[in-house]
Structure 1
Amino acid sequence: MSKSLFRASGVVGLMTLLSRLLGFVREIMLAAAFGAGAGMDAFLVALMIPNFGRRMFAEGAFSQAFVPVFTATKTTAPHEEARALVAVTMGTLGGVLSLITIVGCVASPLLVWAFASGFHDDPDKAALSAGLLRWTFPYLMFISLTSMAGGILNAYGRFAIPAFTPVILNVCMIASAFVDSGSVQALAWAVFAAGILQFAFQLPSLWTLRLLPLPRWGWGDARVKKIVGLMLPVMVGSSIAQISLLLNSNLSTHLGDGPVSWLYYANRLMEFPLGIFSIAIGTAILPTLSAQHATRSAEQFAATLDWSLRLMLVIGLPAAVGMVLFAGPLVATVYGHGRFGADDVRMTTYALWAYGAGFIGFSLIKVLTPGFYARQETRLPVRFAIIGLCVGMAMSLLLFALARHFEFRAAHAGLAASTSLTAWINALLLLHRLKRDGVYVASAGWGAFTLRLLLACALLTGVVLWGMGSLAWWTEAGARDKAVRALLVIVAAIVVYFAALAAGGLRPRHFRRS
């Protein structure tokens, strides 16, 4: 693929890596200070609710609908037209979100009941979560405006600022430990402050592009109607995976104290490579695909998808293999401190195994959905997501019922497995449709490429199994010893993997050209 697209993915990946590294520091702090008990469960539910809206709306429906429309306007119309589109979109979006925020804060007890029905048996836990939600819910409004600003900057090839912005949330939450390290209330305050700061951080960049006009209400504007028309089916599609996670989180609140936190901590480890690589690639290719569709460059469109799939597999496949094999040591090294005990390590490891099995499925969705949204095709991804959701939800309910009947402590791992199944079904349906419609045509060399990957992953597996040892050592060793050993195993596995690819003839230049 082109050097500029490769560079764009690298910039997004590098900035996201910084955010995820700080996120690791954040998660270590949360696990050590609060463990996996009732207080942490309450905060995670209060954080989960605005995050549900963020992923469904800000990073899902709105960004996927707004970016293609804005890119088309920027590509084919004068700058003043793009400026006017920003004004009406930001004004309308801000007005709607302000109303939603007021309703959400007032109705926080009802939202906690809907998202965490298991808290009904513990009134103190439910009340704590509702109080925290009044501080965390406004984050949805600010992060949605931040997502819009980031989409505009991405359309102009300015990926660094939007990709760096999530770092602010991690910094605020880490700083909250110095405000009041004994209360989860400080974490809620940090989320509120981070939302404001993330939006403000992007405004100077919009100003330099002359794209910071006075917002104005424009619900009846034809451009806003077009974005809303594209958003509605995308919102349903984007919410599918979130509904699956929501169902699983809700079910986990019926399993006592701990499962909500175990699922959260495992999911955060899974999202580390997902955010660095897969989401970075998907973010980078959406403006490019949108521009290629606008100029009717079908061959380049297919080549961009092919490039993104290959790059995702080169990085994502070893990440998935390593995540499953090295789950226990990874959880023990990152979280196994302070109040996060050996039992918490084991329970989180079970969940990470289940999430790791679906990592490539999650990654494929991030890379393939831009192939639909760039062409303003929003209904098919929704249909496929609903199919995957129905199968996954049925599996969740079945496994939950069986676990409760047989009193199986690791029932939360079955919930994570159902989420992975949902992702795989969705991803395979997306890929099949793109190939069937001729939108994606695989370029030559996939057979040899796949063989190289498999051989390299086999060598990586050997290195990990040789270096990891027993889980008992990881739960009993000191923090420094665990960190040093984990780093050595991971670095050795990475070196062996890429050395094997190089020996097989795969070079970086293969990802810098078509």
Structure 2
Amino acid sequence: MSADSPQPESSPPSARKAPGLLRSSAVVGMMTMLSRVLGLVRDMVIARYFGAGAGADAFFVAFKIPNFLRRLFAEGAFSQAFVPVLSSYRETGSVSDVRKLVNAVSGTLGLVLLGVTLVAVVGAPALTAVFAPGFLDEPVKFGLASDMLRITFPYLLLISLTAFAGAILNSYDRFAVPAFTPVLLNLSMIGAAIFLSPLMESPVLALAWGVFIAGALQLFFQLPFLMRLGLLPRPKVDYRHEGVRRILKLMAPALFGVSVSQINLLLDTVLASMLQTGSVSWLYYSDRLSELPLGVFGIAIATVILPSLSRKHAAESVDQFAHTLDWAVRAVLLIGVPAAVALALLAEPLIATLFHYGEVTDRDVMMAGGSLRAYSMGLLAFMLIKVLAPGFFARQDTRTPVKIGVIAMVANMVFNLVLIWPLAHVGLALATSLSAWLNAFLLWRGLRKDGAWKGQPGWGRFLFQLTAANGALATVILWLGQPTSEWLVMAGLERAASMAVLVGAGVVAYFLVLAAVGVRVRHFRHR
């Protein structure tokens, strides 16, 4: 029987031997890197065709609403609640039990999402007014955003079911397929901008249709892989199913605990809509760049450790649970610190290299660079949240992250109100970073207090190694870097070549120093 063949009904569900966490993280990271690189290409295309004007602002709001809800419900609270329950059924139940759970969850989730989608499509203007109240003073922009929201909101239904399918595949250590799936969104939007926009009366509407098409493509792409596992859902609405009730119980508080950073970013959009035209776009472009390392490494590690932590908790392996969390934190620091340093030092050059084409002006580059630098200050915190939160959810503890989430949200609102007046959109980005650090610290303190996280030997040496390598990285960037004014007048290919040399030199310096002070790949192997 092949590794992917359905198991006999009489035996508990099993999968091929689980790969090491480093190898799994690398697989997810590579697939996510491909997606994020295409995402940057997508944003470059959007910037070239639509710039940072009213049409772009309207689309980013229409896209951000369902995308925010996707992260909040589908990849956020739902996945964090569903994976531990599915892992428990997989460890202790039969194949039949697992299939019944999958069928009940798919039917119940699908019905709820369909209802939410219908309400949102009908009430699109009201939703737009809630999430972008600043657009009310500009009827054309408001109407355009509402029209596009009717097209983009069904994406929530499609991508949430995609996330459901991906959670099943991740639970069976099939990480590559869900990690590759977002590539289809980027390809769809690039194609829509280039080929569909010239055919539209309002060209920016093509982007909304690209989002809708992408949702369908991503869902149908994953179904054959579920079929190979023998877990293709046969939807059944069953609120009384024990697993469904457990998931719903875990989801309610998890909405805050896992998605605080997304709520903070959405609050930024609401407030930015009240600032000068372009603010929403500046925040979007800078947020996209800061999400590149977050998605490639932070989310990759979090995706891999949640099923592993859930199984260790089910097996009552306390020491291995703590060891896995410690490994995840060190892995995040190894990548997150240099990424934050590089983004802070290269904010405007990066924005210029990727987006300074077509409708994007010198002023847009400077404005987006300021918010990117502010986001970079919180990048490491965002990544730590991604790997610390699973430490609670794997143990089916959702109360603690809720309390922490509420504290962080309140802090973000206070920071927003304090910083928006002197710093405008940059203040909103800085407030998000500050609240993320508060969130990460409280999560870490809670895990340490519970004994779920225990520092393993060697932390002092590791921090020294990290400091030395990042010092070398910063030195190389400052030595080889050029003033922002020179980046603004370079041709596109010259900017790209200069950035490639600068980034390449920084990466080489960082890893050479890491090797010189004793860091080896084998130190991060963890099965």
Q: Fold match, TM over 0.5?
A: yes
Question: Which of 503, 508, 512 is the matching residue for 2:521?
Answer: 508
Rounded to whole Å, the distance in 2 between the matches of 1:116 and 1:512 is 46
**1:490 to 2:510 alignment:** no
Q: How far does residue 240 in structure 1 lie from its aligned partner after superposition?
A: 2.7
SS in structure 1 opposite 2:178? Answer: helix
State how far apart, in whole Å, the 2-side matches of 1:23 and 1:213 are. 30
> Deviation string for 1:111-132 (max 9, x for gaps)?
0000000001001110000000
Q: 1:183 matched to which residue of 2? A: 203
User: Which is further off, 17-26 or 237-246?
Assistant: 237-246
Answer whether contact 1:3 1:513 (CA < 8 A) is retained: no
Counterparts of 2:446 and 2:417, CA distance in 1: 29
For residue 12 of structure 1, what is the aligned residue in structure 2? 28
1:422 aligns to 2:435 (yes or no):
yes
* Contact persistence 1:22–1:167 (CA under 8 A): yes
* 1:222-233 map, 5 Å: 222-233=242-253
- Alpha-carbon distance, 1:513 to partner: 4.1
Contact 1:237-1:381 within 8 A present in 2 as well: yes
Deviations 1:198-253 (CA, angstroms, capped at 9, x unpaired) = 11110000001110131111112222111100000001323432222222111111
Matched, 1:325 2:338: no
Residue 267 of structure 1, aligned match among 287, 303, 308: 287
CA distance in structure 2 between the partners assigned to 1:445 and 1:220 by the alignment: 49
Q: 2:65 aligns with which of 46, 49, 54?
A: 49
| 8 A Cα contact 1:388 1:421, kept in partner | no
Q: 2:296 matched to 1:250?
A: no
Query: Structure 2 stretches of 5 or more lacking a match?
Result: 1-17
What whole-Å deviation, never above 9, does each CA across 1:272-320 have from its counterpart, x for those lacking one?
0100001000000000000000000111101101111111111111001
Is 1:374 aligned with 2:394? yes
Matches within 5 A, 1:391-410: 391-400=411-420, 402-403=421-422
Letter in structure 2 aligned against 1:215? P
- Equivalent residue number for residue 42 of structure 2: 26
Give, in whole Å, the separation in 2 of the partners of 1:117 and 1:239: 22
Inter-partner Cα distance in structure 1 for 2:19 and 2:340: 27
In structure 2, what is the Cα distance between the partners aligned to 1:468 and 1:187?
A: 35
Name the residue aligned to 2:91. 75
**1:120 is the counterpart of 2:136:** yes
Per the alignment, residue 474 of structure 1 pairs with 487
Name 1:406's counterpart in structure 2: none
Alignment match, 1:101 = 117
Of the three residues 240, 265, 268, the one matched with 2:260 is 240
- What is the match of residue 308 of structure 2? 288
Deviation for aligned residue 1:28: 0.5
> What residue is the counterpart of 1:307 in the other structure?
327
Offset at residue 96 of structure 1 (A): 0.6
CA contact (8 A) 2:338 2:473 kept: yes
TM-score, normalization: structure 2? 0.95
Q: Distance in 1 between matches of 2:60 and 2:500?
A: 29
Work out which of the residue numbers 208, 221, 226 in structure 1 matches 2:228.
Answer: 208
Q: Is the Cα–Cα contact under 8 Å of residues 329 and 468 in structure 1 kept in the other structure?
A: no
Residue of structure 2 equivalent to 1:451: 464
**For residue 452 of structure 1, what is the amino acid of its counterpart?**
Q
Report SS of the residue matched to 2:197.
coil
1:173 aligns with 2:189: yes
Identical-residue share of aligned pairs (%): 50
For the residues of structure 2 that align with 1:428 and 1:467, how far apart are their CA atoms?
A: 35
Runs (4 or more) in structure 1 with deviation over 3 Å come to none
* Contact 2:134/2:270 (<8 A) preserved: yes
Of 174-183 and 269-278, more deviation after overlay is shown by 174-183
8 Å contact from structure 2 (residues 258, 389) kept in 1: no
Q: Which amino acid aligns with 1:304?
A: T
On the 8 A contact 1:385/1:426 being kept in 2, the answer is yes
Letter in 2 for 1:254: M
2:13 aligns with: none
Contact 2:20/2:526 (CA < 8 Å) preserved in 1? no
Q: Return the alpha-carbon distance in structure 1 between the equivalents of residues 326 and 266 of structure 2.
A: 32
Distance 1:97 1:310 in 2: 37
Contact 1:244 1:389 in 2 (8 A): yes
CA distance in 2, matches of 1:357, 1:448: 24
The answer to whether structure 1 residue 334 and structure 2 residue 390 are counterparts is no
- For 1:211 and 1:9, the matched residues in 2 are separated by 24
**Out of 210, 219, 238, which is 1:199 matched to?**
219
Give the conservation status (yes or no) of the 8 Å contact 1:3–1:512: no
Aligned-partner Cα distance in 2 for 1:57–1:254:
27
Residue 14 of structure 2 corresponds to which residue in structure 1?
none
Question: Is the CA contact 1:37–1:258 (under 8 Å) kept in the aligned structure 2?
Answer: yes
Kindly provide the CA deviation profile for residues 377-433 of structure 1, in whole angstroms up to 9, marking residues without a partner as x: 111111111111111111101222x33xxxxxx510000000001100000000111
Question: How do 1:345-356 and structure 2 match up within 5 A?
Answer: 345-356=365-376
Letter in 2 for 1:85: L
> Is the 1:328–1:471 contact (alpha carbons within 8 Å) kept by the matching residues of 2?
yes
Deviations 1:17-70 (A, max 9, x none): 000010111011011111100000000000011011111100111000000000
1:409-460 C-alpha deviation (Å, 9 max, x unpaired): x510000000001100000000111111111111100001000100110110
Aligned position for 1:143: 159
1:413 partnered with 2:421: no
Q: Is the 8 A contact 1:55 1:238 kept in 2?
A: no
Whole-Å separation in 1 of the counterparts to 2:264 and 2:334: 28
Distance 2:317 2:259 in 1: 31
The aligned amino acid for 2:408 is G
Q: Distance in 2 between matches of 1:146 and 1:3?
A: 24
**2:175 is matched with which residue: 159, 184, 194?**
159
Q: Secondary structure of 1:179's partner?
A: helix
Hey, what's the Cα distance between the residues in 2 that align with 1:478 and 1:490? 18
Q: Secondary structure at the match of 2:75?
A: helix
Counterpart for residue 7 of structure 2: none
Q: In the comparison of the two structures, how many residue pairs are matched?
A: 506
Q: Is the 8 A contact 2:106 2:233 kept in 1?
A: no
Q: Structure 1 residues 3 and 204, CA, compared in 2 at 3 Å: closer, same or farther?
A: closer
Distance 2:173 2:345 in 1: 38
